[in-house]
Chain A
Amino acid sequence: MREWHLKYRKIKNLLFHFTLFLAACAVIIPLFMVIQYVMIKGFNSLNWDFFTHTPKPVGEVGGGMKHAIIGTFIIVGIAGSFAIPLGIICGAYLSEYGRGKIAALLRLSTDVLTGIPSIVIGIFAYLLVVVPLKQFSTLAGALALSIIILPVVIRSTEEILKLVPRHIREAGLALGLPRWKMIFFIVIKGSRSGLITGVILAISRAAGETAPLLFTSFGNMYYSTSLTNPIASLPVQIYTYAISPFDDWQRQAWAGALVLIIIVLGLNLISRLIMNRQQLGFGRRK
């Protein structure tokens, strides 16, 4: 009788294990399928021209997405240079002074912001920048992306800084440091890796956003770096080419998609590497 119960329990364990395994596959397999598909479709179109040339007129074969790649860097760069410092400061505020009404309000705002659909953020930037300037512009796109980057950086900064144990802060104060110096030079400086990771993740998310850019930076078939004019970006360019009827453009869209995936995945992997290296530093000796 007892043996039957034991077998029954073992079978249940096995079934559960198998179910978990299936669930894991359900996640991993689509990811690999997507990457594989994009690779197959896009790899052949990747050539030196792709990275160094702007689009050729319709009908002509060749050309590249240099303008879009650079455009993405510019928009994300401008967005980041506003959102990242602001985000880190707000995140530090929440972790160091996190009690009270203002902090609660800030947390609420951050949470709401992360939930706003990116296209709505795009509309907001449209109203704020495109309408007054009467044209699409890099700045508008940068504003939209910075609103997307900001809450992610705030959240991750707060979480990373909260990981610093209380007695480290007390040790800093006990040395006779004023609170701001302790926060900046010990807590923030000591969490560099974690903060950088959060920033990289935020940037990689923003780099892939398409909807908000559709009516802010709008896109451009020509190379432009002007702040007050439309500018190309990878996601928008992919979209434009993908819905076009031209084979050559569609081929290039796949290549663009591949480049975008590589950028996003690459940033993700780098951030993991940085995190792991710091973990090793933290947990090495007892």
Chain B
Amino acid sequence: MNITSQQLIDEILEMSSLVEAILEKCMDMKVHRDQLEELENKVNQFHIKIDDDSFKYIALKQPHARDLRIALSMMKMNAQLERVADESYNLRRYFKDLEILPSSIKSLHDQVRKMIRGAIDALVTNNTYLATEVIKSDRHANELNREIMKDYVEKMKNNEISFDEGLSGIRVAKNLERIGDLSTNFAEDVIFIVSGSDIRHQSHLKDKS
């Protein structure tokens, strides 16, 4: 078996382009749910394959230092990407019930799409600065989410919108916010690969809300 750490990264990148596609299309009603399901199945297959490949890579090739960090991180990033796909797929369920799409939700969607793209770019270019920017921007995503929630709660209290509409909107925002968190985790793992530092749970970089 002649697998290398670069091959593991290539597999993650293939998986991530599928995940970005689902994230983009989940809020596009022109894309049918079956297409989303197809993408999600492919993502799940990658989930299994990358775990298996990383495991075998560690067992057979005894990687050290950066190669070992890559192998371990691939297993984590793999899980994060799978969850992003999952959240995106589930998001469609609530999104289709929304009658009005507020611009704030659109902004949040764009924001988290940018975040995941940034995290993936950071992996490709080994750029910890980019990764740090992604982690910092989670604050903005969280703020947006809070605003959206506040807004919906207001409107529901004032009977401006129906209960169902409000709940759906809040759920959509919640899923998007979770995708933002997962992108942050992805970026943290990129920093671990490049620098060997574990920067998780350090509050000066993100907002604890």
- Assess A/B contact in the complex (Cβ within 8 A): no
